[in-house]
A and B are shown apart, each in its own frame.
Chain A
Amino acid sequence: MGRPRNFDEAEVVRRAADLFAARAYDGISVDDLVTGLGVHRHSLYRTFGSKRGLYLAALGWSSEHRIAVLAERMAEAGDPYELLGGPLRDEALGPGLDLLLLALVERAPQDREVARIVAESFALLDGVVGRALGAGGGPGVESGREGRVATGVAAALLGLRALDRAAEPAVDAPAAGSALLRGLDRR
């Protein structure tokens, strides 16, 4: 099997999640990964099998450590109208949303494993939104009007994050999130 691993695998996966959150999957070469992660190319192959293997590990880590934490914080938010604003202002957890967004757009349509991890992450957000909006139930896409509203609001979080990533955002994304929830509440 060659040399034993001489790097911290968990740390490499965390940093890979940051790299994949910042740029398109096809825009990151193995050279970029070798440079950005400071790990020898052959070690990367030995440990993760392929660029996709590393990507899946990074996406899974992000779902477990960033999206899950984000969902917990959303669940604890005192002001229900700030349900979307809080995550949008959270710089530490933002890359988790970015990676989820990029994975959803880029890789999920062609890679079932990516689609599965994305669905798990989305179910966490969806479940929190559903409970906050009074739809009840656990995580996952729920049936019925409330469930569909929760899915729509959770999807809006990703859209607002995308708008917020612009170099000079044309909208105040947290305020738009808050306005969306107030608008829904009046119906």
Chain B
Amino acid sequence: MNPVLAATSISVRIGGKTLLDDVSLSLGFGEIVALVGPNGAGKSTLLRVLSGDLAPHAGTVRLNGRTLASYGPRALAGRRAVLSQSLNVAFPFTVAEIVRMGAGDGRGRRIDDLVEAALAEVDLGNFHERVITTLSGGEQQRAHFARVLVQLACGEAAHGPGLLLLDEPTANLDLRHQLDVMAAASARAARGVTVVAILHDLNLAALLAKRIVVLDHGRIDSDGEPGRVITDAMLERVLGVANAVGRTPAEGTPFVLPHAARKLLPGKS
């Protein structure tokens, strides 16, 4: 089957610095992928390339067989939705107004229901008329996630399941809401949405994704099932941390325990 999203030999250089170096990545229908790696590895840059924000200096990105550049902004918005990090809203919009922005010009009962459902899904069911700037960072992020879910649902109604790109969707959230976001992403993937999420928490990554892509110094270090990718060797190589990986007894799912970890001396990594 043809990939939904295919990035081929992507390179990005900004100000003489190479942020991405010959990265290729191919994602199938309903696939859910976690993008991990140290700070500055190029994860956000890769996500910006995949979303169409940033044109790579070399390489192409194809969505459903067409290059990203051949889509207009509106057509693209119907097929992929993006949750960015740390958004700041300058004007006192209410939570419901923000979430409704995901629906574009759409109005009516169907949109009302979508907004309702998305707010309930991120546990902001009673926050409709709250002004977004008065909410905590985590609450604001959940509101924006609800907006992205509405955009995704509107796109799905028109063009079928699309692409969902998440840049650290769990960064400001407490554990319960981290799990909510993961569940929402998994549910979308089960319906055929292709999901790419940048995650720092390797445990969440292993829990959420069937496939983990490790990025380091702008290159793909490893790519595969959590059990194969999250190993002591990878953590030593990429993060300079040793002896941190354990396995759950039953399924053998890897988990990372900071207590057991040991920092490697510089030069040894």
State whether these chains interact: no
A: which residues have CB within 8 A of B? none
